[in-house]
Structure 1
Amino acid sequence: MSADVLNVLVAGGSGASGIAVARALRGAGHAVFTVGSDASRITAAAAAAGEGVVPLTCDLADPAAVAALRADLAGRGVRLDGVIHLVGGWRGAKGIADQPDEDWDFLERNAVTTLRNVSRAFYDDLAASGTGRFAMVSSTTAAAPTAGAASYAAAKAAAEAWTLAMADGFRREQSGHKEHPVEQHSAAAVFVVKALLDDAMRAAAPERKFPGYTDVTDLAAAVVRLFDTPAGELNGRRLPLSR
């Protein structure tokens, strides 16, 4: 844990969850960079998150663009201490036979490829940080998949597996190092929700109760706690947030 100002990247920062997470991190005193593929949307989202949140535009599904993003941050003298991966999306069908290839391509690109690109680009930064943290948001569906959500569940499961592999990498390089073990200081973890909920969703369906949904402000608070919790207690864990 560190009392220093930490540099945190919120990947997929244009939506309600990205705004909430960026706002909470900034409120906790961290330097926050929020990333989206649409310049106008990410600029508006950063402004909504609060003063000092820095918007960045990048296609996170393009490895060359992500490498350029890392170079841009390095040029500003920024080495990341945290990456919160919120890129995703939902696609569903009736069953197995009618799962469209277009839906799988969308989900694989957003949930898996973006995460792989970002984690590979910034892994060394997070491993070197005294408080390195990587977290993604997954779904309860990944552990209990349904036929209708087969593509979505498979993509989330793949993203989870990659994140937990990152955790193994951090462990092997730090507390689990065979010759020179050190206290674990970097961690990769998975937040697990049924679904996320925000004020716009409530306003659009005031009659709904949204049982089991996780408010984006609760997700944001959990993200802030990552940086106050010892890495050894977080690394490789699936952290349920569903109510």
Structure 2
Amino acid sequence: MSAGRTLNVLVAGGSGPSGIAVARALRNAGHAVFTVGSDRARIEAAAAEAGSGVVPMVCDLADPAAVRYLRATLTEQAGRVDGVIHLVGGWRGAKGITDQSDEDWDFLERNAVTTLRNVSRAFYDDLAASDTGRLAIVSSTAVASPTAAGASYAAAKAAAEAWTLAVADGFRRAQAGHKEEPVEQQSAAVIFVVKALVDAGMRAKSPERTFPGFTDVEDLAAAAVGLFTAPAAELNGRRLPLSR
């Protein structure tokens, strides 16, 4: 791991409360933070709320060419990216199996899987070359106990987890698990597992609710910061529960 070096961290899907919290925490920890969204006004407002120095960038992460351009732009502006915190997602549900709509599946697959595939492929070499390379996604407890109503959501999250674990295997094979020239593990791909996320705005709108089992976005943010100080060998390929 690096000591005293400012790391370049990309927060993908940075327009919402979780993206704001994660970007703010990473910036406060001394990292250079670039937060990405598809809507310019929203991502610029989110970056401003996250704090001075957080750089907003606009990109359709479902478009592989656009993501490659994003990577080229970041490389030119800041150098290699050391971390990607992937927060793109969303929820769609139904009553059961037969009314799982194609529209909902397309939405979930695009947000949970396609964006992750594009971002991780574009930045894989950067993360593998960094002495503190980190990729993290947020998944759901629904993967382990899917319901009929949430079939599409759980399936999309499961696919995202499988992809992330495959990235972790790539990191391992290139580093500690290299057959000919093994080196200390320096890159890691991890999965944060939550029941659901809650933020201050949600609490203010429903002060009577206790949100049992929900993970506060500030706790997610703290966990994201912690990735860059924990040894990669202890993180790579792990599912890290954050639910209370």
Aligned to 1:24: 25
Amino acid at match of 1:35: V
Amino acid at match of 2:130: S
Give the 3-state SS of the residue equivalent to 1:218 in structure 2: helix
Amino acid at match of 1:38: D
Aligned to 2:234: 233
Give the 3-state SS of the residue equivalent to 1:76 in structure 2: helix
Amino acid at match of 2:87: L
Aligned to 1:188: 189
Aligned to 1:128: 129
- Of all paired residues, the percent bearing the same amino acid is 79
Amino acid at match of 2:216: D
Aligned to 1:73: 74
Amino acid at match of 1:96: I
Aligned to 2:104: 103
Give the 3-state SS of the residue equivalent to 2:109 in structure 1: helix
Cα distance in 1 between the residues matched to 2:224 and 2:2 = 15
Give 1:59-70 correspondences, 5 Å limit: 59-70=60-71
Cα distance in 1 between the residues matched to 2:172 and 2:232 = 10
Cα distance in 2 between the residues matched to 1:128 and 1:77 = 15
Aligned to 2:205: 204
Cα distance in 1 between the residues matched to 2:220 and 2:75 = 28
Structure 2 length-normalised TM? 0.99
Aligned to 2:2: 2
Amino acid at match of 2:112: A
Cα distance per residue 1:23-71 (max 9 Å; x no partner): 0000000000000000000000000000000000000000010011011
Give 1:110-189 correspondences, 5 Å limit: 110-189=111-190
Tell me which stretches of 4 or more aligned residues in structure 1 moved more than 2 Å: none
Give 1:19-58 correspondences, 5 Å limit: 19-58=20-59
Amino acid at match of 1:187: A
Structure 1 residue 207 displacement after superposition: 1.1
1:14 paired with 2:15, answer: yes
User: Is the CA contact 2:75–2:81 (under 8 Å) kept in the aligned structure 1?
Assistant: no
Cα distance in 2 between the residues matched to 1:199 and 1:77 = 32
Structure 1 residue 155 displacement after superposition: 0.3
User: Is the CA contact 2:113–2:156 (under 8 Å) kept in the aligned structure 1?
Assistant: yes
> Where in structure 1 are there 5+ consecutive unaligned residues?
none
Structure 1 length-normalised TM? 0.99
Cα distance in 1 between the residues matched to 2:200 and 2:101 = 31
Give the 3-state SS of the residue equivalent to 2:99 in structure 1: coil
Amino acid at match of 1:155: A
User: Is the CA contact 2:10–2:36 (under 8 Å) kept in the aligned structure 1?
Assistant: yes
> Where in structure 2 are there 5+ consecutive unaligned residues?
none
Structure 1 residue 77 displacement after superposition: 3.9
Cα distance per residue 1:184-206 (max 9 Å; x no partner): 00000000000000011111111
Amino acid at match of 2:96: G
Cα distance per residue 1:64-120 (max 9 Å; x no partner): 100110111122142100000000000000100000110000000000000000000
Cα distance in 2 between the residues matched to 1:29 and 1:74 = 19
Amino acid at match of 2:149: G
Structure 1 residue 2 displacement after superposition: 1.6
Cα distance in 1 between the residues matched to 2:187 and 2:232 = 6
